[in-house]
Structure 1
């Protein structure tokens, strides 16, 4: 495929740009540590396979042509993010003697995958972005090329988001040395999720 390095450079720039996914990875890492941030990064990256497959098979065109379907999925994703935020706001944080049980990493992974899948704008982005780097006269079919590009995008997302999660985890660990900070970490994470959910719901 032509311009593969250009695709990779553009993908990294897009992934570094502030957005709902990397903000959630940061929130996870700060509130629960490096492992949680890393697992959240893996979850969001895994969700990319869903959007890539939809884009490659042309299903995203249906979402684009059906405003009702787009709105339903968008509001479902926004509601899910707000629900996660409310749960974080209601948590009791850390006491001076006992830390609350951390959320299971498998649960964080599932929530991250689902949060990514429920964002129809990612699907529409892929159906617009990926074809720009496909060679219709290449030896491989357009579908195969789009799947390969999606896999490359996913791999660089793992690298970039993991960096976010690990760095956020370091910040979170430093803050948690103060016993009363835990509850504020949860408040920050919860407010972040709710703000992202509202942004997804209200933005055109």
Structure 2
């Protein structure tokens, strides 16, 4: 691939990563509720979801959603369900007694839910349909699937740097605040509000 195309894609990917969106809000919510480690694990899970989307695009599966709109609607419903589940879980955590040193949620669980949330986000699928192909050329010496994998790798690299920073920052802030009595409950409520807001946004967005 042409170096100019790779640099242009990297710059565009950085701008997209810096713009607050559902993935960043998810990472922020987990950083708030589970500390720096939870925020970083959520960022890694989101990047893993991007890897899945990249592989699907390289295999031609992403185009299937363009041909079958109903499949995209199923993905949207699954995404809404996941986010509502997370909102309810955060609310339940906020209702528990405020015990110092209580164990945080499982890092494996945060990772898996981050992957599932990203994979079930129809906006990411539409992103691969509308944005990534603009940087792919059939005249390039690399086959199209290889170009898609290379661009996806750049997207993951840029995204993990930005998202991990967000996860660490939100986690460190919550760690400073959680030592105060009752703050953990409010942090869990804030996370529930973020998850619920993301579910509402996904439910009301126009996917056309």
Scaled by the length of structure 2, the TM-score of the pair is 0.93
Note the aligned Cα RMSD (angstroms).
1.4
* 1:85–1:194 CA contact under 8 A, matched in 2: yes
Q: Structure 1 145/97 Cα, relative in aligned 2: closer, same or farther at 3 Å?
A: closer
* Structure 1 position 140, deviation (Å): 1.1
* Structure 1 position 128, deviation (Å): 2.0
Aligned to 2:194: 192
Aligned to 2:89: 87
Aligned to 1:100: 102
Aligned to 1:75: 77
* Structure 1 position 93, deviation (Å): 6.1
CA distance in 1, matches of 2:30, 2:110: 8
Return structure 1 stretches of 4+ with deviation > 4 angstroms.
93-97
Question: How many residues get paired?
Answer: 204
CA distance in 2, matches of 1:182, 1:93: 10
* 2:76–2:122 CA contact under 8 A, matched in 1: yes
* 1:52–1:123 CA contact under 8 A, matched in 2: no
Segments of 5+ residues of structure 2 without an aligned counterpart are: none
Asked if 1:128 corresponds to 2:136, the answer is no
* 2:39–2:171 CA contact under 8 A, matched in 1: yes
Q: Secondary structure at the match of 1:178?
A: coil
Over residues 39-62 of structure 1, what are the superposed CA-to-partner deviations in whole Å (9 max), with x where a residue is unaligned?
Answer: 000000010011112222222222
